[in-house]
Amino acid sequence: MLKKRSAFRNRKNRNKCFLFLLLSSLFVSCTESDDSSQFQHFKKKEKITVVIIGSSIASGQGASNYSNSWAGLLEAESNDSIINNAKGGYLTLHFLPETIPNKLGIETDEKRNITASLKLNPNLIIFSLTTNDIANGYTVDQYISNMKIMTDLCENNNVSFLIGSTSPRLLDMKKNKALIEVNTMLEAAYGDRFVNYYNELTDPETYKIKSIYDAGDALHPNDAGHKVIFNDFLPVYLKVKSKILEN
């Protein structure tokens, strides 16, 4: 008789345990479903709008296709809305506000310049104007001054920004050193908003782009070179994005 009662109690306890586990499983399932829904909603809120101002490398030249360019890689990785206003051959002068006259014979591109870019209401602007100013004979001071005009406008409009470094190019020694000087001054002026990929791309003995990163014209990076730029931009980009989303 005692054995029967003991067996009955054991079955009853097992049934209770089974019921408890079943209810727990259902609760966890519902909770995970709710969390998944909230996570998807949160991910949508994480998306920011970015504008790229730059020249040929920023437009993707040298990469086998745009998706392998540093800008394309950044867009895919971040899932952000990235508007690329870069154009091959452009200098800082092409992106200045149309309200600033210049006597250098270069007209501002009013569809791509800093004014047009700010009208897109971006959270972040990335500048990547690598070599064209120096290659075309403009001075380091002119480059830095033009960058300051554009970054001041970003600050006045509460838009975050990042500035990419120069990149190696087949130039004379004076201009090669000017590219390095630009980077030194950009880093001094902008600190952690400056992203330096020049050193990794450049052969320190020849000042040329390393052969493993050369697309074949001693100027534009190949897929591997674009990956270097992307890898240098990404952690800084994510840090800035995090600050934007906190505000």
Q: Is 207 left (phi over 0), alpha (psi -120 to 50) or beta?
A: left
Please give the pLDDT value at position 104: 82
Q: What is the pTM of this model?
A: 0.82
Please give the pLDDT value at position 247: 84
Edge to edge, what strands does the sheet with 194-195 contain? 81-84, 49-54, 124-128, 160-164, 194-195
Place of tokens 């480059």: 143
Query: What are the pLDDT digits (tens) for 40-57?
Result: 333 445 899 999 999 999
Calpha distance 223→70 (Å, rounded): 8
Please give the pLDDT value at position 238: 98
Domain ranges of the chain: 1-45, 48-246
Strands (E), the chain: 49-54, 81-84, 124-128, 160-164, 194-195
CA distances from 113 to 4, 120, 122 (A): 88, 11, 13
3-state secondary structure of 173: helix
CATH class of 48-246: alpha beta
For the chain, give the mean pLDDT. 87
Calpha distance 131→197 (Å, rounded): 13
The pair of three-digit structure tokens given for residue 132, joined into one six-digit string: 């064209």
- Lowest pLDDT segment from 3-12, 123-132, 137-146, 155-164: 3-12
Nearest of 149, 139, 153, 137 to residue 182 by alpha carbon: 139
